[in-house]
Amino acid sequence: MRQNERMTNGGGLRERKKARTREAILREAFRLFRERGYAATTTEQIAEAAEVSPATFFRYFPTKEDLVTLDRFPPLVEALAAEPPGAPVTVLRRAFRAAFASLTAEQIAAGHAREVFAVTVPELVAANLRRTPGLLREVAGLLADKTGRDADDPRIRDALGAVFGVVTLVWWQWAGDPAMDGPAEIDKALARLESGLNE
Amino acid sequence: MRQNERMTNGGGLRERKKARTREAILREAFRLFRERGYAATTTEQIAEAAEVSPATFFRYFPTKEDLVTLDRFPPLVEALAAEPPGAPVTVLRRAFRAAFASLTAEQIAAGHAREVFAVTVPELVAANLRRTPGLLREVAGLLADKTGRDADDPRIRDALGAVFGVVTLVWWQWAGDPAMDGPAEIDKALARLESGLNE
DNA sequence: TCTCCTTTGAGAGTTCACTCTCATTTGAGA
DNA sequence: TCTCAAATGAGAGTGAACTCTCAAAGGAGA
């Protein structure tokens, strides 16, 4: 019966205050990251800018990395699960389209700002990589279902690797050029991958 | 006229001692990494095991990461530069073959032990990633030459991304399964990439 | 308004990578 | 054997992420 706190900011004043504190920390953290870089920004500076104590900062984000690391990719996994069967690259391409289509332009833009750091700062790439094996296994399993193959079929691995690599490089380029239409570019790149790269 | 220190260990006793110290540090470091993991091994423990002072450890390796990070990939770049022109994936595949062919089985095996950490431990992936953009730009430039395209042609980026992704996943699998024939598996995977992943 | 429980702040403490200084040792070359 | 420069060790010091404890503040519900 209780409402979804994520969307409504919860009922009580307590919940709302917590949400505001969390947002303040995130907002100030990213502002500082942009101004002076990730490594050069200390957790104390973030806490001070967000007007909370250092201890409180760590209550909200157990590690500095968590500022940039949490909650990525779920849309893609959901979209993939909902896809009809097909050839591996094709299925993944459709999943990417569906995942982006499920987000508003604002959500994509807001996500992009965060992704710039997640993709650009090595420490954060590392933090995200720490969850990548699990994600890859999950995606491989889904992909195996959709294609009627084994999860450890090398062809699944290779399709996944190729898509993963292609998307990573586009993402990277996107991080450096916010004017780019990321979703469209990803789709074009995957189309090329579908039709053969040696053409 | 001076000899190549890398191969001959240099002439003087001083040089030889330095080389031995360096090797001792590397050897003990990797032993400890294997026993208790990268993060759980402190630089002091490495120094103690290698019988040097902590200060000396840092004289040999300015950062802990440098133990695992230095000197990767040059064979690939050289091999690529020497390849004749062709389609992008094909050229890269041949370059990988040539790069591995230029190494002895011992060199590959020794390199593999180090790679296991470089690929498996997120912090180290991050450290290596720090040099990846430069490497990718270099490879993209060479690839553009070989294919007669522009270095910023999206097709170059996509071929590179796909190969990079495929090789990464194989490498990863190889790290977890030393019995695997990495070079052969990479070649097979790239062959699949050449002929189209949706087959 | 009163009581309870959660959240917060203050601040001391820990760990570890990395730095600096200075005195001592040890090859190199004469 | 003597002198010099390079390498080493000892050890104190720094910075920053993260932890712990305890007391004060402030919503929630009666």
Q: What pLDDT is recorded for position A113?
A: 76
- pLDDT higher than threshold 50 for residue B1: no
- What are the tens digits of pLDDT across the range B104-154? 888 888 778 777 777 777 777 777 777 788 888 899 999 999 999 998 999
Average pLDDT for chain B: 87
Q: Does B120 touch chain A (CB under 8 A)?
A: no
| Chain B interface test: which of A128, A155, A197, A199 (most B C-beta within 10 Å) | A197
Across the interface, do A129 and B122 touch by the CB < 8 Å criterion?
yes
Of A126, A109, A168, nearest to A39 (Cα)? Answer: A126
* pLDDT given at position A9: 41
A132 to chain B: nearest residue by CA?
B122
Q: Which residues neighbour A110 within 8 Å (Cβ) at sequence distance 6 or greater?
A: none
- Output A70 or A190, whichever has higher pLDDT: A190
Pick the more confident residue, A163 or A133: A163
pLDDT in tens, B146-155: 999 998 999 9
Lowest mean pLDDT among A50-54, A189-193, B23-27, B77-81: B77-81
Would an 8 Å CB–CB cutoff place A194 in contact with chain B?
yes
Average pLDDT of the residues of chain A: 87
Q: Given CB atoms, is B187 within the 8 Å cutoff of chain A?
A: no
pLDDT at B68: 83
**Is residue A135 within 8 angstroms of chain B, CB to CB?**
no
Strands, E, within B32-138: which ranges? Answer: none
Contact A158 B87 (CB under 8 A): no
Cβ-nearest to A164 among B130, B165, B189: B165
Q: Whole-number Å distance, CA B8 to C1' D25?
A: 71
By C-alpha distance, the chain B residue nearest A171 is B161
- The residue whose CA lies nearest the C1' of nucleotide C10 is A53
Q: A160 — contact with chain B (CB < 8 Å)?
A: yes
Q: Which long-range contacts (CB under 8 A, 24 or more apart) does B148-157 make?
A: B148/B85, B154/A185, B154/A188, B154/A189, B154/A192, B155/A192, B155/A197, B155/B88, B156/B88, B157/A169, B157/A170, B157/A173, B157/A189
Q: Which residues of A touch B134 (CB under 8 A)?
A: none
Q: The pTM is what?
A: 0.79
Phi and psi at residue B11, in whole multiples of 5°?
-85, -60
Nearest to B61 by CA among B30, B82, B84: B30
Query: For residues A90 and A113, which has the higher predicted lDDT (pLDDT)?
Result: A90
Q: Which helix (H) or strand (E) holds B65?
A: none
